[in-house]
Amino acid sequence: MARTFQLEIIATDRVFFKGECEHLVITAIDGLLGIMAGHEPLVTCLPTGELKYMVNGEWKYAAISEGFIQVMPEKSVILADSCELPEEIDIKRAEEARQRAEEKLRQKQSIFEYYQTQAALNRAMNRLKISQKHFK
């Protein structure tokens, strides 16, 4: 079994990462998912969360929003709405987005608007968490 596998992380605005990876840990809809070379094939949805992947023995972290992952024994592909390194996150903008979403949640909304606002709040909170946890 190979030590590495090909990993592609594709966000709507760019190819975030493409290269060899030793280990991948990502939040899936039913919990944390750890992936190494030779993993059994699977496809699953990804909620907003943290992405952690090891390249050349070093862990790298990113904030990822909703998407999908396809895992094959030699390659994994992640398609996500957005993916950002901790140092790319604009903390002020994320904080403003959090405040806007919290204020909007206090207002009367349709169920559809409520779910959209809750998703926006989750994205903002995730970005803040990842930036504070991993940006040095």
Q: Residue 5 to residues 42, 72, 110, 131: CA-CA distances in angstroms?
A: 15, 9, 45, 27
How far is residue 70's CA from residue 75's CA, in Å, rounded to a whole number?
8
Which pLDDT value is given to residue 89? 84
Q: What is the pLDDT of residues 78-105, one digit of tens each?
A: 999 999 988 888 889 888 988 989 998 8
Report the CATH architecture of 5-84: Sandwich (2.60)
DSSP-assigned beta bridge partners for residue 24? 35, 53
- The full set of domain ranges for the chain reads 5-84, 90-134
For domain 90-134, give its CATH number from 1.10.10.10, 3.30.470.10, 3.10.20.30, 1.20.5.440. Answer: 1.20.5.440
pTM for the model: 0.82
- How far is residue 80's CA from residue 48's CA, in Å, rounded to a whole number? 9
The token pair at 57 is: 């023995």
Report how far apart the first and last C-alpha atoms of the chain are (Å, whole number).
35
At 63, is the secondary structure helix, strand, or coil?
Answer: strand
pLDDT for 2: 52
As averages over each run of 10 residues, the pLDDT of the chain (136 residues) reads 86 95 93 93 94 94 94 96 89 89 88 88 87 71
- pLDDT on residue 30: 86
